Structure formats: structure tokens, C-alpha cells
Amino acid sequence: MPDNPEANDRPVIAVSDSPPAWLPEAISAGGCQVGPLADADGYVHLTGPASLPHLPARVRWVQLPAAGIETYLADGRLDDRRVWTSAAGAYSETVAEHAVGLLLAGVRGLVVAAGLRTWRGKAVADTVSGLADTTIAVVGAGGIGRRVVEMLAPYRATVIAVNRSGRDVPGADRTVAAADLDELWDQVDHVVIAAPQTSHTVRLIDAAVLARLRPRTWIVNVARGGLIDTDALVDALAGGRIAGAALDVTDPEPLPDGHPLWTTPGVLITPHAANPRAGLEAALADRVRDNATRFASGRDLIGRIDLTAGY
Amino acid sequence: MPDNPEANDRPVIAVSDSPPAWLPEAISAGGCQVGPLADADGYVHLTGPASLPHLPARVRWVQLPAAGIETYLADGRLDDRRVWTSAAGAYSETVAEHAVGLLLAGVRGLVVAAGLRTWRGKAVADTVSGLADTTIAVVGAGGIGRRVVEMLAPYRATVIAVNRSGRDVPGADRTVAAADLDELWDQVDHVVIAAPQTSHTVRLIDAAVLARLRPRTWIVNVARGGLIDTDALVDALAGGRIAGAALDVTDPEPLPDGHPLWTTPGVLITPHAANPRAGLEAALADRVRDNATRFASGRDLIGRIDLTAGY
């Protein structure tokens, strides 16, 4: 007699090889049971696209571990025979906080200050500006972008959100549709990039855009390195055409030793560290539990990937 | 015949030697007129305590340029025969923004990241934490502290304000009276210091307090260096007992070359740069104009110094 007479009714979810302890716990807490892939109704994948196994037809749902899934798409691993979910939104809190930290570090002169070994008050003060009375574009208004908008609310800046639809983003002073983005570049002081990388957004920040930004501008990127044309960025920074770039992501990534971005003035790089591992696992466990609960009761899943839109 | 028949009724305000152009403009805009010290009803001082002139008895008001006036008090230059006003509150916006930037730079691992010349993702990620689910003490709830509390509101942290009275500070989750501060140190993850330096607050953060803080703690100081016992801070940081200190002010200041703070891990120093000169002059001009307007019409002045309280 089974310990739990209802266990056989629970959907079976298979998991990546050598799963961490929190994964079966999250699946059970969501009202599903862990089982072999051959019997599985769903599958939770914790590693990259190359290790994605062959999925039987009966697997109706796959949970991926990343918020950005462009590498899975590029590898052609996402078919239309089941529902795929990303972790989009699960890491919004920590990544949004990181984005605001990077922006403030830039405008407050902290990048220059961090290297000081002598009291050079004027040299640092000359690099300090503020967010008050500036205009900040937040490109991408998913979970991260919306939280960035909320975190920027107290600073007496004008915050312009950019999303696909142009529908008003709560808390933003104005929302601009991505199709109208070109009008925006002459109006902004700072740019925070929090958009998915798709065929529409790759190299969104290129030489032409950089030429229209202001000398005081800081660019923050917490999304994907490919949204910025790296060579054009290095040129703009080296020429003093913008003030700086604070990047959690780069293209290429990892950024190789000796790459000019490492030594270009006005660059701050956190090596894909906005979402530290401890918090990542807790956030992903929450997401797996929530989606398992929804899957078991037939409800819509969070983070469902739109294969046509590419995120 | 005078250009302006009302000019003789306007209070006469004397100014420091070689005043910048904005100063007489601010005084005129406030409905007063600039005149010699011998005829003056008020006086605006732009430099330090040593250059304060002898003031005739008829000078009923003196505006000082700094928000913190402990050096004027220490030099015994503030008498009780007139009203003295500091610039307290005039620089709150920029200094509060700087304080939040310093705190985020600390918790997000930016101090470590700023020195990177190679991709060390894990090394940085291990230093990254977040403000969510932490408790942050904001010590001092004048203009700067109140704005810091507002700027911390979006982060899902518990914000405890500390002021003299213990009266609730708007936006803080809890307000603690300075007299009860000792109970606080075991409960907080991060400390932002925005209090005036007085005989009650000097070396507020000493070895005993540092011993009670947590290994993850960042201390931010945008007030005066003397509120922290520097030697005890260096010991606590070198021993890994707290995570870091992000300081716009130090004791001694300027911090001499070779001082251990320059090279202690976990230290970020902006050399008294929270209030950059361009913004400083604009903010002080606004304050002079506002107080001149109030002086001309006999209203209470902003930033009136309480000689007993010491700020």
C-alpha cells in the first residue's frame, strides 16, 4: 500500500541529472511527483541547451532555468509540441536592484572613486552628477524593467519606459513603443537596458544611437551583452561621447582578458553577477513550485515562452 | 532720484569678500539689497570659520554655507546675539542620492568589481547581496535622512529611522529615539549615517558597536567622519567582522596618503564629493534667496541653528 494514496494521480515531472535537493522538494511542494523521463508529463531542466535530453511526446511542459532563452532558440531546441517556460521574472528583484546600483555608481562618480589611493576631492566631485532633473529610459518593461521603474520613482527624474506595445507602464512618466524608440535617443540622459535579446533587439545600441546620446549619459545593461554593439561602445567611451557604461553582461561573454572594455575609462563590469547563486536557487525553486502547482491544476504557467516573439 | 524708490526699505545684507555673481542676485531676488557690513542687517558667509569677520551688533542674521557647522561651534564663532542659519537641508537631495548609491555599490559587489581586469564571475557573485529582506538603520532624520528613507522605500527592506525625539519618520517602518540606539545594533544589516556631528554623536560607531554588527553589514557615512571611530573601523574590516564601509567623509579629512583606510578591503571612499560644486552653488543660491525673502518679511528662517543642540 503506498504511503500516499493520491500519489498516483499527481503529474510526473522528470528532472536534470544529479538534481540539487531543493528541486524535488519544490516539485513535491507544487503537488507533482518526481519520476523518470519515460513516464513524465513535465520536465525541469537546470543546465544549458546542449544538455537538453530527447523529450518523449508525452512531456507537455518544460521549465528552463534562465530568464533569457535566446541560446536555446538559436540551437533550435524549442519545439512547438509542448509548452516551454523560462524563468523570466523570477530574478527581477535582484537584477533590478543591481541595475539601479550600477546606474547610481556611474552618475555618482563611484567608478572613479573606487580606484583612489589619495584624496582627490575635486577630481571625483567633477565626475559626480545626480539623477534629479534627468530623463532615464528603461528599455524593456518585463519584470526587471517594471521594478527598475519603481525603484527610480523617488529620484525626481523623468522615467520613460519602453515596451513592445507602448501600453502605459505603471509608475513611468511616459511609455514609448519599441517601434518609436528612434525618437527617444535625443531626449534621454541615461539608459537602462532590461529587454530580452531577440532578432529585433540585437545591437539595439549601435554607433548611430551612441552618436545621439549626451556626454553625461550612462548606459546600464543587465539584460544581454548582444543588445549593445561592443566595438561602437568602446569607440564612444574612448572618444568621451558618453560618460560611461555599467555592464553586468557583455558581448563577447565571458569578456576575454585584454579586451579594451576592461581598461576603457568609464566602464564598470560586474561579470554576470546581478543574480548571485544563493538567491538564484531560491528564486528558481519558488518558480518551479509555483509552476508545478499550476501544471497540476491545469492553470496557465508563468513565463510561458512565445516561440514567435523569441522570449 | 533712485532707480527703485523702495530700495531704501529693503534690508541690507553684506556678503563675503569677492562674492560669486549668483550671491547678490539671490539676495536681490529675495527682496533684500547688498550693502557694506557696517550698514548690514544680515550677512552671508561663504567660507570657513577662520574668515568670519567681526560682526556689528546690528547684524541680526548670519547665513553659513555648510550643512554641518561643528567647526564654527568648535571655534566659538557663533554668539547668541543674532540668528545663525546653516545650509542644513539645502543639499539633501544630492547627498541622499549619494548615500543610496554608496549602499547599493557595497551590497551589489561593485567595489570588488571596479578593480577587475579579468572575468571572475564567481568571485564577484559571492560578494553580491541585496537589500530585499534586510534591515537598514538610517541614523539621523533631517533632510538627508528623510530622503534616504524615501529612496529606500521600493527595496522590500525594513527601514528603521533614528532621530532625537523618536517621533515617527514618514516612510520608515519604525523610528527609534537616539537614546534607545543601543538596542538597535543587533537588529540591523546595514547602517546609513546622516546625523550631525555633535558631542552626543561623535564616535557613535565605535569598537563596541562594530562588534555587534553582522558580517554582511555595510556602513555608509555621508555626514561627518568623526561619527565613526576610524581605527576601530579599520580593525573590524581587516578582521572581516563587517563587509564594508562606503564613506563620503572620513576622520581625519582629507584622509592622508598611506592611511590604512585607502587599502583596507571593503572600503569605498568618495572624497567629500556627495555634494558636487555645480549643484552646491545652485542649492545654496536657492537657500539664500529663500531666507532673504523670509528675513525681509520677518518670517522664521530655514536652517536656524540651535546653539545648545549644536546643529
What pLDDT is recorded for position B125? 86
Confidence at residue A280, expressed as pLDDT on a 0 to 100 scale: 85
The reply to whether B304 belongs to the active site is no
Q: Tell me which amino acid residue A188 is.
A: V
Instruction: Give chain A's count of helices (H) and strands (E).
Output: 9, 12
* Closest chain A residue to B131, measured at CA: A97
- Residue of A98, A190, A224, A287 with catalytic role: A224
pLDDT digits (tens, 9 = 90+) for A194-238: 999 999 999 999 999 999 999 999 999 999 999 999 999 999 999
Interatomic CA distance for residues B311 and B73, integer angstroms: 9
Residues of A whose CB is below 8 A from B126: 276
pLDDT in tens, B63-78: 999 998 999 998 888 9
pLDDT at A208: 97
**CB neighbours (10 Å) of residue A232?**
17
Q: Residue A278: its pLDDT value, please?
A: 73
Of B192, B181, B204, B183, which Cα lies nearest the Cα of B155?
B192
Question: Given A118, A262, A272, which is nearest B121 (Cβ)?
Answer: A272
Q: Where residue B6 falls among pLDDT bands split at 50, 70, 90?
A: low
Q: Any idea which fold B7-90+277-296 has?
A: Rossmann fold (3.40.50)
Nearest to A154 among B115, B150, B256 (CB): B150
pLDDT level of residue A150 (50, 70, 90 thresholds): very high
Q: How far is A260 from chain B (nearest CA, A)?
A: 10
- The residue among A93, A104, A220, A257 with the most chain B CBs within 10 A of its CB, best to mutate, is A104
ipTM of the shown complex: 0.89
- Segment B161-170 long-range contacts (CB within 8 Å, at least 24 positions apart): B161/B137, B162/B137, B162/B138, B162/B195, B164/B309, B169/B141, B169/B145, B170/B146
**What superfamily in CATH does domain A92-269 come from?**
NAD(P)-binding Rossmann-like Domain (3.40.50.720)
Answer yes or no: is pLDDT of B1 > 60.
no
Query: How confident is residue A2, by pLDDT bands cut at 50, 70 and 90?
Result: very low
Whether A224 is catalytic is yes
**pLDDT, position A187:** 95
Residue A190 is predicted with a pLDDT of 98
Where residue B121 falls among pLDDT bands split at 50, 70, 90? confident
B280 band by pLDDT with thresholds 50, 70 and 90: confident
Q: What is the pLDDT of residues B196-237, one digit of tens each?
A: 999 999 999 999 999 999 999 999 999 999 999 999 999 999
Residue B183 annotated among the catalytic residues of the structure: no
Is it the case that residue A132 has pLDDT exceeding 70? yes
- At B20, the amino acid letter reads P
Indicate whether A1 pLDDT > 70: no
Give pLDDT tens digits for A16-61.
Answer: 888 999 999 999 999 999 999 999 999 999 988 999 999 999 999 9
Q: Closest by alpha carbon to A126, among B269, B97, B275? A: B275
DSSP string computed for A51-70: GPPP--TT--EEE-S-S--H
Chain A residues whose CB is inside 8 A of the B132 CB are 93-94, 97
User: CB A268 to CB B113 under 8 A?
Assistant: yes
Length reported for chain A: 311
**Does A270 sit within 8 Å of B110, measured CB to CB?**
yes
The pLDDT of residue B307 is above 50? yes
CA-nearest residue to A118 within chain B is: B257
**Res A7: pLDDT:** 60
- CA-nearest of A266, A234, A235, A238 to A250 is A234
pLDDT digits (tens, 9 = 90+) for B127-182: 899 999 999 999 999 999 999 999 999 999 999 999 999 999 999 999 999 999 99
Which pLDDT band holds residue B114 (cuts at 50, 70, 90)? very high
SS3 A10: coil
Domain with CATH 3.40.50.720 in chain B: 7-90+277-296, 92-269
Alpha carbons B224 and B243: distance in angstroms, whole number: 21
Give the closest-approach CA distance of A78 to chain B in angstroms: 28
Nearest one of A34, A5, A74 to A307, comparing CA atoms: A74
**pLDDT tens, residue by residue, A176-196:** 999 999 999 999 999 999 999
Closest residue in A to B109 (Cα–Cα) = A270
Nearest to B130 among A94, A115, A128 (CB): A94
- CA dist B154 and B171 (Å) reads 11
The pLDDT value recorded for residue B4 is 53
Q: What pLDDT score does B5 carry? A: 46
